[in-house]
Amino acid sequence: MNSEFESPRLNDPLDTPNEECGVVGVYAPGAEASRLAFFGLFALQHRGQESAGIAASNGETLNVHAEMGLVTQIFREPDFYPLAGERAIGHTRYSTTGSSLLCNAQPMIVEGYQGRLALANNGNIINCAQLQTQLKKDWNCTFESTTDTEVMAYMLANASGADWEERLFYCMRQLEGAYSLVALTEDTLMAARDPLGIRPLCIGKLDGGWIIASESCALDHLGATYMRELEPGEVVIIDPQGFRSSVWSGATGRRALCVFELIYFARPDSLLDNKLVHSVRQELGAQLAREHPVEADLVIGIPDSSTAAAIGYARESGIPFSEGLVKNRYVGRTFIEPEQRMRDLGVRQKFNPLTEVIAGQRIVVVDDSIVRGTTTPHVVGLLRKAGAAEIHMRVCAPPIKHPCFMGVDMATRQELIAANQTVDEIRKFIDADTLGYLDVKGLMKVVGGTDGGFCDACFTGNYPVPVQLELTKLVLEEPPAELELLSD
């Protein structure tokens, strides 16, 4: 096997884009907002499994509890006692800027000119090193983490403006990149979405209060009524004067929602861009069948993210759908390093083939993406060992040729197999009989982005904002360049 494309993450057996983050904000009159935030985060656990936290305010004090691990591992009953109050924000994290360290767990609380403030973010600020340098110079800010979220928090806590709406707009003029943030002071809950709407954020109503979340599935779990997605460049303020929202005047109306939210990241029961994700994925599979038909006996998906697309492929092609791989849903990220023998088993820890279903069959295998190409050969190997007569790999994302700088840990260009090999070379590498990727035009036809509206930079290299191609997630762990901040 070509070691050039081996993943450096030996303890991560799945060759997929890594999740970004999930955020939730709660205003719950007469209730404990932190407990609602907990269940909101539980619904968003798929968006990040490295750390989680909740900050809450009772109108006078602002407290936070954040630790490494899963949401259910971090919070016990005594942890909620200091988190009393009607307002809370929460965060579950996969690191996109900054290492997976406790100091980078969110929400983060900072002290600034405007007082104490807690902030949590889903996204990635590509000019965070320059902003950090400027914050140190202008406001003598002392940073304790290596994440762009602390940069954002200090900027908002010190921003000029008559009210929080103006201060958030001040930040929007400075921040470059993707963000969907929630913030909290002693008496105010805030939310904002970047001017291109790259990362998702929605709002719902609950018992006279409000719930803000990365995905609508969190609203469903809390029994909230889904209202809408925040507009690109929109800020929401919930304070003693009530609820209000407005859109930054600098927002151009151009949209660039990350298309991978629909392909892979979002839960299938969430609404994104006014579409049910499950239905979109079925249609992606159907489009894949139109573009890459093949004679076969069964269609199977790589569970669970590709199941809907596999069903769509089967319906369109007329080939029966069947489960072919059983997923062990209790295998996740762990801090325990497995011995080498268990590392070598890799995918076997995650999937087990249904041999009696697969043996002797010509199989179409539908997957959501191939990133580094480190897992797919093992999946194909499992199916061949189970007796598959033919294996036709179908991928409901175009070839990933460019890294993401907008909040997804996608891998470097050197690690991306499609950036370095042709489709036929990849087919040989994964040992499939045929290989077909969804075309970019076909993808956009399905999601409704033929006239724009989505970020597809990982396929095309057309980034929605200018980026430094050498930018890394550890940028704040290196000496930042002394670059001047663009004036507002």
Q: Is pLDDT of 426 > 80?
A: yes
Give me the residue spans of the domains in the chain.
21-254, 279-328+335-448
Expressed in angstroms, the distance from the first to the final Cα of the chain is 52
How distant, in Å, are the alpha carbons of 23, 67, 96, 101 from that of 84? 19, 18, 30, 26
pLDDT reported for residue 481: 39
Segment 187-239, tens digit of pLDDT:
999 999 999 999 999 999 999 999 999 999 999 999 999 999 999 999 999 99
Helix 307-317, helix 277-291: angle, nearest 10 = 50
The yes-or-no answer on residue 128 being catalytic is no
**Two tokens, residue 172:** 């929007």
- Which of 3-12, 90-99, 229-238, 416-425 is least confident? 3-12
Asked whether the beta carbons of 132 and 32 are under 8 A apart, the reply is no
pLDDT in tens, 461-480: 999 998 876 555 444 555 43
- Who contacts 402 (Cβ-Cβ below 8 Å, separation ≥6)? 413, 416, 419, 457, 458, 459, 460, 461
pLDDT at 476: 58
15 preceded by a cis bond (ω within 30 of 0)? no
Maximum average pLDDT range among 68-82, 455-469, 473-487: 68-82
Q: Is the pLDDT of residue 5 over 50?
A: no
CATH number (3.60.20.10, 3.40.1440.10, 3.30.460.90, 3.40.50.720) of 21-254 reads 3.60.20.10
Q: CATH for 279-328+335-448, among 3.40.50.2020, 3.40.50.720, 3.40.50.1820, 3.30.70.141?
A: 3.40.50.2020
Q: How many Cα atoms occupy the beta-carbon half-sphere of 251 within 13 Å?
A: 22
Higher pLDDT: 288 or 4? It is 288
Q: Which of 21, 128, 202, 455 is catalytic?
A: 21
What's the token pair of residue 102?
A: 């406790």
Amino acid 466: pLDDT:
86
